[in-house]
Structure 1
Amino acid sequence: MATTKTPRPKTLREGSAQKRAAILSAARELFLTGGFDRSSVDAVAALAEVSKRTVYDYFGDKQTLLRAVVDSIGQSLITTIRHTLDDTLAEVAEAADLEDALVAFAMRIATGMLDSGEYATLQRLVRSESRHLPDGGELFMADTPDEALAERLAAFADVGLLSVPDARLAADQFTALTFSVALNRLGSANAAEDPRVRPLVVEGVRTFLRAYRPA
């Protein structure tokens, strides 16, 4: 009796970093301007100046390519967040310095990242193409400032600067009290364009610290 073999999943090529970047850039442009459904793999290949076979070899199919585009933007934003954390919070050693450092971090993220073209692109792709993404795109939006911030808040708790039973919850609440308040109330978190942003962020940080400073 013949045995039916289960087909092996296709192995994608790692390939040239330059070609991968060109394909991702072309796909991003086409998905934004024409939408996922109207953007063909042929068009992506032509714009990236590679063969259609190369696109398939590197990414497998168009849906995987969309996921790769969204993921690459998300990873770029996470890198920005981590650099900002290092610049603003890495050297904090005294409780008296914590408020100013957290305000500096929140202002940098609010103005430099949440109001950036990269973040707007990520939001737009996730909203418009959610049906083509796992979990409607929520998977990719999970890597917001909260994930990286939670690690730093836990580190502050380890040295006694904060009392943080649940670091991820604390990060979620920090975000809600700072970035989200500005976005929900003003429609923007860019303090360079709206002087009302900073007072909201400062008060949010103070409210957060009242809740999480050690007793």
Structure 2
Amino acid sequence: MPTTKPTTKTLREGSARKRAAILSAARELFLADGFDRSSVDAVAARAEVSKRTVYDYFGDKQTLLRAVVDAVGESMIATVRRTLDDTLTGVAEADELDDALVTFAMRIATDMLGSAEYATLQRLVRTESGNLPHRGYNSMANTPDEALAEQFAAFGEAGLLDVPDSRLAADQFIALTFGVALDRLGSANAVEDARVRPLVVEGVRTFLRAYRSG
């Protein structure tokens, strides 16, 4: 069945509280009952707003689904940026990189990849792909890589890493740490699987052998 294009009508900004309530209600219903079986009436009732308010804020149900996916993605990006600030921003010496990068990777594996938000995003994208603009849709998908690339570029400017292409370095770091865990174990959730940490540690070592300055 072909999907309907999301509306292009001008939407209301409305109140942050109502928008959050609608997104929360839609997320719960899409996960519990599926997109097709979740009506706008049901979303409105759960959010305690009128059906017209849902349409005024989001236009149609497909746009609402996309907004739910985007909101989850934004939450995860906030986690990435917060973790970068907590673990890597203050690194000023080359000998601090090993521990700092392992700490960063382990925090991502627990706080993001092991989170309910990540599980929600994966499930929505997997089960509702036919109702999203394209397979694997997540408008925020590249942002975590870009945030890490910015940090690696800063390390390059400080002389801690040799990174001619910081985005490539970020992609390779992710592949060597989370990517290996996902490929080998099917999960990078370090909370549930003790095998994740050794893979992350070795991935960081391999990354630094390629990118450490000097």
TM-score under structure 1 normalisation? 0.92
SS in 2 for 1:137: coil
Amino acid at match of 1:122: L
- The answer to whether residue 83 in structure 2 is matched with residue 53 in structure 1 is no
Q: Which residue of 1 aligns with 2:175?
A: 176
Q: Which residue of 1 aligns with 2:197?
A: 198
String of CA shifts for 1:13-56, please: whole Å, max 9, x gaps.
11011111110001001111111111111111111111000000
Check the 8 A contact 1:78/1:143 in 2, yes or no. Answer: no
Q: Which residue of 1 aligns with 2:64?
A: 65
CA radius of gyration, larger in: 1
SS in 2 for 1:142: coil
Q: Which residue of 2 aligns with 1:124?
A: 123
The unaligned stretches of length 5 or more in structure 2 are: 1-7
TM-score under structure 2 normalisation? 0.92
SS in 2 for 1:134: coil
Amino acid at match of 1:67: R
Q: Which residue of 1 aligns with 2:100?
A: 101
Q: Which residue of 2 aligns with 1:160?
A: 159
Amino acid at match of 1:18: R
Amino acid at match of 2:198: P
Check the 8 A contact 1:82/1:148 in 2, yes or no. Answer: yes
Check the 8 A contact 1:74/1:143 in 2, yes or no. Answer: no
Count how many residue pairs are aligned between Structure 1 and Structure 2. 207
Alpha-carbon distance in structure 2 between the residues aligned to 1:32 and 1:51: 21
Q: Which residue of 1 aligns with 2:86?
A: 87
How far does residue 192 in structure 1 lie from its aligned partner after superposition?
3.3
The unaligned stretches of length 5 or more in structure 1 are: 1-8
Identity of matched residues, %: 79
Alpha-carbon distance in structure 2 between the residues aligned to 1:68 and 1:177: 31
String of CA shifts for 1:186-214, please: whole Å, max 9, x gaps.
23323333322211111100000111112
